[in-house]
Amino acid sequence: MQLIREVLEARKAAFGAWCVMDNSFGAELVGRAGFDWACIDMQHGHVTSSETLVPMLQALNRTDTPTLVRVPWKSDSGAIMRALDAGAQGVVIPMVDTPEEAALAASACRYPPVGERSWGPMRISMEVEGYTPEAGNAIALCLVMIETSQGMARIDELLDVPGVDGAYVGPADLTISHGGGLNFRSDNAMLHEMAETVVEACARHGKLAGFHANGPAEAAHWAEVGFRLVAVTADAALIREGAQRALSELRECLDAR
């Protein structure tokens, strides 16, 4: 099993794709595309149960793609533990505002005595030979999302929480929460300034900086800014864009006849 921590050690930036559709075959296609990592979205995506999550993790594990899970909500410790037990190598925690919320998530990611994760590594123990509580603690990534005005204001406090491995910028909610409109791209000066602040804070604390980019060009830009875990696209976006491109090419061919 390729570990996302090893990928990050080997690369200046690791580029991934999100899976928002509740489909294991779609997840396998994302894995076979060759992304450095994937993330299954249980907050805004259509993946709403373990019955769907497990087959998707199985498909991604088969392609040796390190996979994270964005859990439904920041206070759902049970969802964090289930995702890690099922084969995820880390979790993305949405809408984190306070150090207390960050600490709750971090504790759910780690076995005692450093956390409160309950022992029951159903699938992950089959993927990682010799799995132990210590191995589980070393593997799991806990990323808090920076996407609210309060979370942004308290970024240093959040990153100072033991067990928090990094901050992942959600540009849509972060921009909206600061009155920056519906422009979530790098040409939004307000967003860019906040993103740079997150990168600098992560550097101060020795933590990982992640960003949810909007397409390849944007992903390349944010990697240059200093983000090391960068989302490029999502399965649904790839289908929509591919379908639109095929139809446009067809119409051009027909018009040229």
Q: What is the pLDDT of residues 118-156, one digit of tens each?
A: 999 999 999 999 999 999 999 999 999 999 999 999 999
Q: So what's the pLDDT on residue 250?
A: 97
* Mean pLDDT value across the chain: 97
Q: What is the mean pLDDT of residues 73-101?
A: 98
Give the residue among 194, 204, 200 at the shortest CA–CA distance from 171: 194
As beta bridge partners, residue 19 has 40
Q: Residue for token digits 């590594």?
A: 121
Q: What is the pTM of this model?
A: 0.97
Give the residue among 210, 105, 103 at the shortest CA–CA distance from 167: 210
What is the number of other CB atoms lying within 10 angstroms of the CB of residue 238?
Answer: 16
Q: So what's the pLDDT on residue 43?
A: 98
Q: So what's the pLDDT on residue 89?
A: 98
Q: So what's the pLDDT on residue 60?
A: 98
**C-alpha Rg value of the chain to the nearest Å:** 18
The two tokens of residue 234 are: 């999502």
DSSP string, 203-231: HHHT-EEEEE-SSHHHHHHHHHHT-SEEE
8 Å CB contact between 87 and 156: no
Residue 25 — very low, low, confident or very high, per pLDDT cuts 50/70/90? very high
DSSP state, residue 183: -
The two tokens of residue 134 are: 């210590």
DSSP state, residue 146: E
Q: Which of 44, 46, 205, 221 is catalytic?
A: 44
Q: What is the mean pLDDT of residues 200-214?
A: 98
Q: So what's the pLDDT on residue 252?
A: 97
How far CA 70 is from CA of 15, 40, 47, 106, 185, in Å, comes to 16, 6, 10, 14, 21
Continuous segment of H or E residues that includes residue 37: strand 37-41
What are the φ/ψ torsions at residue 232 (nearest 5 degrees)?
-100, -40
Q: So what's the pLDDT on residue 206?
A: 98
Give the residue among 64, 109, 52 at the shortest CA–CA distance from 85: 109
Q: Is 93 strand, coil or helix?
A: strand
Q: Count CA atoms closer than 13 A to 153's CA, side-chain side.
A: 7
Q: Count CA atoms closer than 13 A to 14's CA, side-chain side.
A: 22
Q: So what's the pLDDT on residue 62?
A: 96
Q: Yes or no: is domain 4-256 CATH 2.40.110.10? A: no
What is the number of other CB atoms lying within 10 angstroms of the CB of residue 123?
Answer: 16
Is residue 44 annotated as part of the catalytic site, yes or no?
A: yes
Residue 220 — very low, low, confident or very high, per pLDDT cuts 50/70/90? very high
What is the number of other CB atoms lying within 10 angstroms of the CB of residue 11?
Answer: 13
